[in-house]
C-alpha cells in the first residue's frame, strides 16, 4: 500500500449527497444540448417509427408488400421501384428489410427492458443488503450464467419451438438478466461504501430512500451503457439463434432471418447481407449512443 492509496476513494462532497445529485431539470437541459443525444435519439426514434409503421415506410417506392415474390427475379440487383433489389425468393428486399425492423427491434427492446428491470431490482437488493440475499442471488446467477447461454437457449427453444417474438424474447431474457444483474450488483457493492451513503444512513434515511434516491442513480450508469449495448447484442443474438434454426421462423420477417438466409448466397449476392446488416448496425449505433449520452446525464460525477 503506497501513500497514494489514501486518495483512492472518491472524495465526494463532504457536505452530503444533495448537492452531488443534480436536479432533474439540469439533467434534461444538459441532455437536450448534447449533439450525441440528439443524433442517437433521432436514430432510435426513426427506427422505432419504422418498427411501428412498417407499411408507411415500405410503400415509399411503390412495392411495399414484402410477400409479393416472383422467383424469376431471384437475387436480382436494384431496379426502378426496388432500390435494394430482390432476395433469393424474388421478394422486394427493401420492403423486407423495412418490415424486418419490427421483429428485430421488438426482441431487442423487450429483452433489454425486462432484463434491466430484473437487474436493477435484484442487483440493488443483493448489493445493498449483501449477506444471505446476496449469497442466494449470486448462486442463482452462477447457475444461470454457468448455463452457457447458447446451450440454455437451444434447449429451451427446442423444447418449446414456437418461433415467435414472445418465446424468443422470453428465452433471451431468461439467460440475459444475470449479466446485467451481476454488473448492477458489483457497482452497487462499490457505491454503498461511498461516504454520502454511509452519511445518509447515519442520518436515519430509510433503506428504500437510500436505494431509490442515491444507490440506484449512482450505480445505474454502467448498467445503462451495457443495456444500450444489450439491445444491439440481443438483436444479433436473435440472428444467431435463427442461424442455428431455433430462433424466429418464417413467416416472421426479421433482420436475423434475412442475415442467416443470406449466409449461403452473400458471395455472389452481397446486397442480401449488406442491407440488413446496415439497418442492424445503424440501429445498434443509435442505442449505444443513446446509452452513452444518458450515462453522461445520469451520472452525478461527470460534469
Partner 1 sequence: MRRYITMRLIALVLTFLGVTLLIYVLVYALPGDPIRGMAGDRPLPEGVIAELRARYHLDEPFPVQYWYYVQGVLRGDLGTDFNGRPVAELMADRWPVTLTLALTAWVLELVAGLALGVLSALRRNRVLDRVVMILTIVAISVPIFVIAYTAQLVLGVHMRWLPISGIAEGWPRSYLLPAVVLATFGIASVSRLVRTSLIENLDADYIRTARGKGLPSRKVVTRHALRNSLIPAVTYLGADLGFLLGGTLIVEGVFNLPGIGQLLFASIQQQQGPVVVGVATLLVLTFLVANLVVDLLYGVLDPRISHVRR
Partner 2 sequence: MEMKGKRRAVVALVAGLGLAAVTACSSGTVKSEEAKSAVFSIADGLPDHLTPGRGYSYNQYNALFAPLMRLSADGTLTMVQAESMESSDNRHWVIKIKSGWTFHNGEPVTAQSYVDAWNATAYGPNAWANSGSFANVKGYADLNPAEGKPKTKTMSGVKAADDHTIEVDLVTPDSQFPLAVATGPAFMPLPKVAFDDFDAYDKAPVGNGPFKVTGTPNLTVSMEVKRYDGYKGPQPGSDGIVFRFYSDLHTAYTDARGNGVDIFRVPVDKWPHVKQDFGDRFSAFKAPALQFLGIPLTDKRFRDPRVRKAISLAIDREAVNKSIFGGLNDPATSITSPAHKGSPANLCDYCSFDPARAKQLLAEAGGWSGGPMQIWLPGGLGYEPLFTAIANQLRQNLGIQDVQIKTLPGFTPFFEALSKKKVDGPYRGMWGSFYPSMAELLTALFTADGGGQFSTGYVNERMAKLVEQGNASGDAAEQTAKYVEAEKLVLNEAPVVPLFYDSYVYAWSENVTDVEIDLTPINITKVKVKR
Residues that bind partner 2 (CB under 8 A): 67-69, 71-72, 74-75, 88-91, 157-158, 161, 163, 244-246, 249-251, 261, 263-265, 267-268
Smallest gap from Cβ 69 to partner 1, in A, equals 24
Nearer to partner 1, 50 or 64 (CB): 50
- CB under 5 to 8 A by kind: which of partner 2, partner 1, none does 209 bind? none
DSSP run (H or E) holding 232:
helix 216-243
- CB under 5 to 8 A by kind: which of partner 2, partner 1, none does 285 bind? partner 1
Size of the site for partner 1 (CB under 8 A): 66
Nearest to 235 by CA among 147, 98, 111: 111
Nearer to partner 1, 98 or 223 (CB): 223
Beta bridge partners of 86: 92
Query: Taking the mean position of all CA atoms in its chain, how far away is CA 241?
Result: 17
Euclidean distance between CA atoms 238 and 249, whole angstroms: 11
Q: Which of 31, 186, 199, 265 binds partner 1 (CB under 8 A)?
A: 186
**Taking a C-beta distance cutoff of 8 angstroms, is the pair 77, 261 a contact?**
no
Smallest gap from Cβ 147 to partner 1, in A, equals 6
**Taking a C-beta distance cutoff of 8 angstroms, is the pair 218, 300 a contact?**
yes
| Span 30-59, contacts to partner 1 by CB under 8 A | none
Question: Binding to partner 1 by residue 155, rule CB under 8 A?
Answer: yes
Euclidean distance between CA atoms 303 and 300, whole angstroms: 8
Question: Binding to partner 1 by residue 274, rule CB under 8 A?
Answer: no
Question: Binding to partner 1 by residue 16, rule CB under 8 A?
Answer: no
Euclidean distance between CA atoms 30 and 34, whole angstroms: 6
What lies within 8 Å, CB to CB, of 284 at 6+ separation is 231, 232, 235, 236
Nearer to partner 1, 211 or 261 (CB): 261
- CB under 5 to 8 A by kind: which of partner 2, partner 1, none does 239 bind? partner 1
9 phi and psi angles, rounded to 5 deg: -60, 140
Smallest gap from Cβ 92 to partner 1, in A, equals 22
Nearer to partner 1, 106 or 179 (CB): 179
Angstrom CA distances, 154 to 144, 178, 259, 278, stand at 14, 17, 19, 27
Q: Which of 2, 25, 62, 208 binds partner 1 (CB under 8 A)?
A: 2
Smallest gap from Cβ 45 to partner 1, in A, equals 18
Question: Binding to partner 1 by residue 119, rule CB under 8 A?
Answer: no
Beta bridge partners of 92: 86
Name the residues that contact partner 1, by CB under 8 A: 2, 4-5, 7-12, 135, 139, 142-143, 145-151, 154-156, 158-159, 179, 182-183, 186-187, 189-190, 193, 221-222, 225-226, 229, 232-233, 235-236, 239-240, 243-244, 256, 259-260, 263, 266-267, 273, 277, 280-281, 283-285, 288, 292, 295, 299, 301-303
Amino acid at each position: 500500500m503506497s501513500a497514494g492509496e489514501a486518495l483512492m476513494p472518491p472524495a465526494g462532497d463532504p457536505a452530503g449527497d444533495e448537492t452531488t445529485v443534480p436536479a432533474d431539470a439540469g439533467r434534461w437541459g444538459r441532455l437536450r444540448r448534447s449533439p450525441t443525444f440528439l443524433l442517437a435519439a433521432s436514430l432510435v426514434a426513426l427506427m422505432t417509427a419504422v418498427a411501428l409503421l412498417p407499411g408507411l415506410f415500405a410503400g415509399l417506392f411503390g412495392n411495399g408488400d414484402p410477400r409479393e415474390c416472383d422467383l424469376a427475379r431471384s437475387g436480382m440487383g436494384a431496379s426502378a421501384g426496388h432500390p435494394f433489389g430482390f432476395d433469393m425468393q424474388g421478394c422486394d428486399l427493401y420492403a423486407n428489410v423495412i418490415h424486418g425492423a419490427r421483429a428485430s427491434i421488438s426482441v431487442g427492446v423487450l429483452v433489454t427492458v425486462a432484463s434491466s428491470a430484473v437487474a436493477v431490482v435484484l442487483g440493488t437488493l443483493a448489493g445493498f443488503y449483501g449477506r444471505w440475499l446476496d449469497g442466494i442471488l449470486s448462486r442463482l446467477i452462477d447457475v444461470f450464467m454457468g448455463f452457457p447461454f447458447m446451450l440454455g437457449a437451444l434447449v429451451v427453444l427446442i423444447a418449446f419451438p414456437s418461433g415467435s417474438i414472445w418465446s424468443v424474447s422470453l428465452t433471451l431474457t431468461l439467460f440475459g438478466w444475470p449479466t446485467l444483474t451481476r454488473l448492477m450488483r458489483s457497482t452497487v457493492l462499490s457505491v454503498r461504501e461511498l461516504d454520502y451513503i454511509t452519511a445518509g444512513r447515519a442520518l436515519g434515511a430509510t433503506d428504500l430512500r437510500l436505494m431509490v434516491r442515491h444507490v440506484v442513480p449512482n450505480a445505474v450508469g454502467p448498467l445503462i451503457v451495457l443495456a444500450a449495448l444489450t439491445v444491439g447484442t440481443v438483436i444479433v443474438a436473435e440472428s444467431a439463434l435463427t442461424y442455428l434454426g431455433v430462433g424466429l421462423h418464417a413467416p416472421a420477417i426479421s433482420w436475423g432471418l434475412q442475415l442467416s438466409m443470406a449466409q449461403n448466397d452473400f458471395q455472389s449476392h452481397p446486397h442480401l447481407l449488406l442491407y440488413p446488416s446496415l439497418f442492424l448496425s445503424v440501429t445498434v449505433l443509435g442505442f449505444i449512443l443513446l446509452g452513452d449520452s444518458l450515462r453522461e446525464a445520469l451520472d452525478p460525477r461527470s460534469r
